[in-house]
Amino acid sequence: MLKSGLSKKEPKMRIRAFPMSMDEKYVESIWALLKNAIQEIQRKNNSGLSFEELYRNAYTMVLHKHGERLYTGLKEVVTSHLEAKVREEVLNALNNNFLQTLNQAWNDHQTSMVMIRDILMYMDRVYVQQNDVDNVYNLGLIIFRDQVVRYGCIRDHLRETLLGLVARERRGEVVDRIAIKNASQMLMVLGINSRAVYEEDFERPFLSQSAEFYRMESQKFLAENSASVYIRKVEARINEEAERAKHYLDVSTEPRIVEVVEEELIKKHMKTIVEMENSGVVHMLKNQKTDDLGCMYKLFSRVSDGLKTVSQCVSQYLREKGKVLVQEEDGGTNAVIFVQNLLDLKDRLDHFLHNSFADDKVFKQMIASDFEYFLNFNPKSPEYLSLFIDDKLKKGVKGMTEQEIESVLDKTMVLFRFLQEKDVFERYYKQHLAKRLLLNKSVSDDSEKNMISKLKEYLPDIEKLDDEDNSSREHVQV
């Protein structure tokens, strides 16, 4: 019967793979081993641990589909340690070495989590990725953030401590910059590729407190100082805040805090600063305060409409000054003084343009526009300008070389370009030229020709004066 049974064709047997399973007791024993190792690492007693053995056990748990048990257990152990030991130590240090204690706890935690991550590397590669959960190291950061740094009074005390240290340093006290830097870096790391924790727990209140501080300081500075002193103090404050941010805050905070200072110390008081009586822009222009105007230009260039505010103030001064000059001289005998005063004013403004306003195109155009405005305010300007040139091209001008005369005439051409009634000027110029030639008063033929050459771009018919010049001279010689 056995034989007949064997002779029958039966289906092939399928040998199933040995099930990769572990009984609960074995799982618990492995977890107990790993749990103890994690706790020893947290206690800094890791010298006797075999990381190879621990890795192998963690690998076995994940391989046998117990990754969730391992992950949950890790979270519980880390949370328990931070709640029971670390948080208590930090709470006990609130009034004594708070930042140092917190920083030590933070450093110890990071070191522990690196070691734990190495043991649980396989869980990171398999379970974490398959289940889209935080990796081991980041899980440790999140727990430390929530159970220590953001725990009730610790969070508040950390914020107030950091803000207090910054406030003390602003008052001139020496503070522990390294402690502030460590705390700032910790908050950045706890954001896990985000500035959220740093922003919420420090930067926003820092910027808000800073705005209030500088709001109060601006009132004090304005009440106690001249415009020159005020802008120097503002410049110093901006440099201090930029340097402070570079040394112990996150690098991205620098432009934010500088903007706060600019807003509170410059933008909100622009008109007040430039119009300060006996010290504002007009005072600086009148008293040749080149460096102060340069400092104001640099500061106001930092804020929107800042340079517009300064340029408008300069323009108002220039127009008033120019109108006074063109209204004072109303007789032909004063034509030379009239033009010379305008040239002197132009030289002064060009000095400020180059040395205070960085040759800013807006300021340059504004100066040109203002000169055009008040030069044409006096209907005799075309005649006076021609008389001035006549004076410089006549023989017998004492104390000036030909080069100096040429330089003055070049400057005169700048004023000429501002003239609206160039045809009126041309009529006077022809009359004055003819008189010089008739009386043989020209300083030189070259000077006359050079002047005509300068004018011909704007007065095409002026070239005919070359021929008239030659004809007149030939007539005189005959």
pLDDT in tens, 172-205: 999 999 999 999 999 999 999 999 999 999 999 9
Task: Say which CATH class 379-478 falls into.
Answer: mainly alpha
Examine the pLDDT at 12 and tell me if it is beyond 60: no
Beta bridge partners of 394: 442
Please tell me the predicted confidence (pLDDT) of residue 466: 56
Q: What is the mean pLDDT of residues 90-100?
A: 97
260: amino acid identity, one letter? V
Task: Take residue 5 and report the two structure tokens written for it.
Answer: 């049974």
CATH superfamily of 24-149: Cullin Repeats (1.20.1310.10)
* Domain 274-377 and domain 379-478 have a common topology: yes
pLDDT category at 334 given cuts 50, 70, 90 is confident
Helix (H, G, I), strand (E, B) or coil at 188: helix
Give 261-283 pLDDT, tens digit per residue.
999 999 999 999 999 999 999 99
pLDDT category at 443 given cuts 50, 70, 90 is confident
278 burial type by CB count under 10 A (0-12 exposed, 13-18 middle, 19+ buried)? exposed
145: amino acid identity, one letter? R
Give 374-390 pLDDT, tens digit per residue.
999 999 999 999 999 99
* Domain residue ranges in the chain: 24-149, 156-265, 274-377, 379-478
Distance between CA atoms of residues 122 and 143, nearest Å: 21
Distance between CA atoms of residues 376 and 388, nearest Å: 16
Examine the pLDDT at 93 and tell me if it is beyond 90: yes
Greatest C-alpha distance within the chain: 162
pLDDT category at 441 given cuts 50, 70, 90 is confident
Q: What is the mean pLDDT of residues 227-233?
A: 98
Examine the pLDDT at 10 and tell me if it is beyond 70: no
Please tell me the pTM assigned to this model. Answer: 0.84
The answer to whether residues 237 and 265 touch, using CB atoms and an 8 Å cutoff, is yes
Residue 241's CB is within 10 A of a number of other CB atoms, namely: 24
Average pLDDT, the chain: 90
CATH superfamily of 156-265: Cullin Repeats (1.20.1310.10)
Give 282-326 pLDDT, tens digit per residue.
999 999 999 999 999 999 999 999 999 999 999 999 999 999 998
φ and ψ of 441, to 5 deg = -100, -5
Domain 274-377, CATH among 1.20.1310.10, 3.30.230.10, 3.20.20.540, 1.10.10.10: 1.20.1310.10
